[in-house]
Amino acid sequence: MKNFIIGYGETLTHKVEVKKGSSDKKHPYTLDEAKRNFISDLSETLESIGHKPSIQCANDQIVIKFIQHPSYLAKTYYPRKLFEMFGMKDVGTRSVKIKPKKWAIKKHPAEGLASCVYASGTVDQFQEMLTTIKSKRLTQKIENLILSIEKIDNFRAEEKIKFIDSGLEKLKLEVVLHANNTDIEIKNAFDKYLYSLNGESNWKKSKVVGGLTFLPVEIEKGKELGLAEFSQLRALRSIPKLRFNKPNTIRESIKTKFLLPTYTPLENDFKVCIFDGGIGDNHLLGSWVKEEIPEDITTGHPDYLSHGSEVCATYLFGPFNKKTNTFGAPYTNVDIVRVLSPDDGSDPDLFNVLTRIENVLKRNDYKYVNLSLGPHLPIDDDDVHVWTSVLDEILQKGDTLVTVAIGNDGDLDGDNARIQPPSDMVNCFAIGASNSNEENWERAPYSCIGPGRSPGLIKPDGVIFGGSEENLFNLYSPLSNSITGTMGTSFAAPFALRIAAGIDAITSFDLRPTTIKALMLHHAERDKHKKMEEVGWGRLPNSPEDVIECLSDEAIIVYQGEIKKSEHLRIPIPIPDAVDCTWIHLKATFCITSMTDPEHPLHYTRGGLEVTFRANEDKKKEEDNKHADTKSFFSNCVFRSIPNSHFGMTRTPISV
């Protein structure tokens, strides 16, 4: 006899107070050493950029890099107060690997991950900082921040250039500025400088997320280095092409008889959406599908319609069952929003496509969404792409589960094989492809690999069948009313969304999107020989029933809820009195959503979750202890690589 998942576990939880111990910090340098290094570096940096042309400096401000020692990654040591003391502003961070001059510990790595902080201020403000640190007594807090600084340096133009398509005479660039909605002077100053280089900007398409502005720009080839000299410019790159499948992907017509499910009206209290190339009128999916076409799209393209219709069909029916010659029955209806248009030019304009997606998501109409498209480039650890920045911010409330195809370049060399935006979002469900849905499976060779960007290092989140050359993904093609064999993460992602929405459709109690994700990851399978950077947490279940059913000697309890910043929540695990056994095997999966700061890739999320396991409430080292003894639970090797991991069944940002 099988059991079903048990809901409302949150009714058993209660808040507790846990006092955190503290210890004195061991510093690599004495205060005198730190001051000497600080003064020397800042003096040299100001000398090198003190005569920067004013046209390159909005509000007469320059941006300087303050690189902290690897021992000071914690947010406690973030040096904002140091800059505020002199009227300056920290405008962003990035992670860097450095070899510090000294360490505070005997056993240490050759190099360590460090925080590089960008500070913006006038030359006079930096000179005041220099004079004060040379001659005046400082507070303990400011002295501790000075102790954390390993190196001060200029933010050079060549560092800001990420990728340039050298085959074009007129460059189409995505420029990232350290500017928020209120920084009008910076935007005006940039436009003035861009005009001096005969460049053009399109502010109507610009995106502002947190403290960053993403702006499409056109400029002549060869002038990009000069453009990067603008002080408040953080990064620039050629606007990548759109990906939605490889142009040379295998497509094979499968000649076999098949049956589609008979249409029956479906009633769900939630809605599902697919963003893709549309579906048009000449399809046979009937009332299962409704298409929405934004006002700025007036035409379609056969390739876009073909891809969109097949992604839709994959969500509705899943892959073809060769044993029964049938497709699975839909769990829900689906809306498809056409976001690709030939009107955008020879290549879809990524800013236009993103705006169409953004406008629909902001309506908050959909609980489940699929994205089988995005920018065709690997993620960058130093800078968050505009797609990731914009969409992660919208999804931070946890009201929508978005499956995102991670890309099909996993067979390329080096970093070119890494996952592609926006699948690096911490608030999405990044889906890769396996080569089979049978017991013996592997990552499909084309499926991109991780790691993701810290703190969301485990990417993809998981894999599911997406086909391979030897074992094609046989799907229903609505435009030709036939079965087509193909492959790609484009089809793995909607297949995963079908399972997710199916779980919701066949359960009787309210499951939040984050909980659905946690349940699917809880059931992911991965043997120790499969690398997490290739398959994430493992292969996801093939059916909703695999998730909601469990064995007769097994119970799965769902805890959902919200927890405030710095709050502690006790989650009891109920064990029936009738259980007669020596050992109980526990497995837990946590999943949260978090607010994000794209200008701070190293501290990208504002929330994390720290999990403590207390195996026996009656066991205490000291009789007077308020809480039971702790034991290790999650794998140390996993948590060592994922600081502030995003596991949990709660929907709001958590900070511990």
Residue 564 pLDDT more than 90?
no
**Percent of all residues in the chain with a pLDDT value above 70, rounded to a whole number:** 95
Alpha helical stretches, state H, 507-552: 513-522, 532-535, 545-548
- Quote the tokens at residue 654: 């958590």
In this prediction, residues 466-477 reach a mean pLDDT of: 96
Q: How far is CA 641 from the centre of its chain?
A: 16
Residue 347 confidence (pLDDT): 65
Q: Which residues of 5-19 are buried (b: 16+ CB within 10 A; e: fewer)?
A: bebebbeeeeeeeee
Bridge partners, 218 (sequence order): 172, 200
In whole angstroms, what is the distance from residue 194 CA to residue 175 CA? 11
479 close to 283: Cβ distance less than 8 angstroms: yes
pLDDT digits (tens, 9 = 90+) for 179-201: 999 999 999 999 999 999 999 99
Q: What is the mean pLDDT of residues 582-592?
A: 88
Taking Cα atoms as reference points, which of 203, 229, 222, 224 lies closest to residue 214?
203
What domains can you pick out in the chain, each with its CATH number?
31-155 (3.30.70), 166-239 (3.30.70.60), 252-550 (3.40.50.200)
User: 349 — phi, psi (to 5°)?
Assistant: -75, 120
At 589-598, the pLDDT tens digits run 999 999 999 9
Tens of pLDDT, residue by residue over 398-425, are: 999 999 999 999 999 999 999 999 999 9
- As given in the structure block, the two tokens for residue 329 are 């029955």
Q: Is the pLDDT of residue 346 over 80?
A: no
pLDDT at 21: 62
Residue 585 pLDDT = 86
Return the closest-CA partner of residue 385 out of 535, 226, 163: 163
Q: What share of the chain is helix, strand, coil (3-state, %, to 5)?
A: 25, 20, 50
**How do strand 207-209 and strand 212-220 relate by DSSP bridges?**
antiparallel
Give the C-alpha separation, 101 to 96, whole Å.
Answer: 15
Which pLDDT does position 461 carry in this prediction?
97
Q: Which of 461, 466, 451, 454 is nearest to 430 (CA)?
A: 461
Summarize the confidence of residues 104-120 as an average pLDDT.
90
Q: What pLDDT sits at residue 542?
A: 95
Average pLDDT, the chain: 90
Per the structure block, which two tokens stand in for 292? Answer: 């929405």
Tens-digit pLDDT profile for residues 598-640:
999 888 888 888 888 988 888 888 877 888 888 877 765 454 3
Mind giving me the DSSP string for 558-576? -------TT-EEE------
pLDDT at 1: 65
pLDDT > 90 in the chain, percent: 69
Convert the pLDDT of each residue in 350-361 to its tens digit.
999 999 999 999
Place of tokens 């133009």: 157
In this prediction, residues 473-490 reach a mean pLDDT of 94
List pLDDT tens digits, range 315-331.
Answer: 999 999 988 899 999 99
**pLDDT tens-digit profile of 209-250?**
999 999 999 999 999 999 999 999 999 999 999 987 765 677
* Local confidence band at 655 (pLDDT 50, 70, 90 cut-offs): very low
Q: What is the mean pLDDT of residues 444-458?
A: 93
Tens of pLDDT along 139-181?
999 999 999 999 999 999 999 999 998 888 899 999 999 999 9
On the question of pLDDT at 642 being above 70, the answer is: no
Give the pLDDT of residue 409: 96
Specify the pLDDT at position 105.
84
270: burial class by Cβ within 10 Å (0-12, 13-18, 19+)? middle
User: Please, which contacts does 79-85 make with residues 24 or more away whose CB atoms are closer than 8 Å?
Assistant: 79/117, 79/145, 79/148, 79/149, 81/141, 81/142, 81/145, 82/142, 82/145, 82/146, 83/119, 83/121, 85/129, 85/132, 85/142
650 Rama class: left (phi>0) / alpha (psi -120 to 50) / beta: beta
- pLDDT tier at 382, thresholds 50, 70, 90: confident
Rg, Å, the chain Cα set = 27
Q: Cα 383 to the chain's mean position, in Å?
A: 12
The pLDDT-based confidence of 644 (bands split at 50, 70, 90) is very low
Q: pTM here?
A: 0.91
**pLDDT for 649 beyond 90:** no
Predicted pLDDT of residue 3:
83
Give the pLDDT confidence of 126-139 residue by residue, as tens digits.
999 999 999 888 89
pLDDT tens for 51-73 read 899 999 999 999 999 999 999 98
For residue 641, the model assigns a pLDDT of 37
Residue of 494 and 262 predicted with greater confidence: 494
Residue 653 has pLDDT above 70, yes or no: no
Per-residue pLDDT, averaged over 500-513, amounts to 94
In this prediction, residues 264-290 reach a mean pLDDT of 90
